[in-house]
Amino acid sequence: MKKRILIVDDEPSVTDILREFFARFEHGHQYETTTARDGADALMLLLRQEFDLVLLDMNMPRLGGLALLKELRGLGLKVPVLMLTANQDSKAAAEAIGAGVVAYVPKPFDFMELEHLVALALARPNRAPGGTAASG
């Protein structure tokens, strides 16, 4: 069973590390990763394709992570999101959680914790497959 992951981060080194992480990650699935450099590129991808999980950087040019998250939720997309950030601001974390992220993940990553959070996010029963809005 294949899971589609969208990694949104403006730092190529971070997207490279996360792509390698998913290449080695095993929980009974194969992982297909797609990357976007910012929220604007990610929004275009999310409107055209279905994803099972989004790893989203908080601070990016053009359209930041929190603004993209709010846009997705406004469009009714229920895809689980893990918010990634080097920002340790508790106010920003609270705002991201209030906007519907599964978890707020600090950089640098603790890969065992990230693996656990990915598994939990993909197992969430209250979301529609592929990131579309859940129907009643």
CA terminus-to-terminus distance, the chain: 25
Q: Greatest CA separation found in the chain?
A: 40
d(Cα 87, Cα 115) in Å, to the nearest integer? Answer: 21
Instruction: Give per-residue pLDDT as tens, 81-116.
Output: 999 888 777 777 788 888 888 988 888 888 999 999
Predicted local distance difference test score (pLDDT) of residue 105:
87
This prediction's pTM: 0.85
Residue ranges of the chain with per-residue pLDDT less than 70 = 125-136
**Residue 25, phi-psi category: left (phi > 0), alpha (psi -120 to 50), beta (remainder):** beta
What the block records as the tokens of 101 is 């992220």
Predicted local distance difference test score (pLDDT) of residue 13:
94
Predicted local distance difference test score (pLDDT) of residue 91:
79
What the block records as the tokens of 136 is 């009643």
Q: Reduced to 3 states, what is the DSSP secondary structure of residue 30?
A: strand
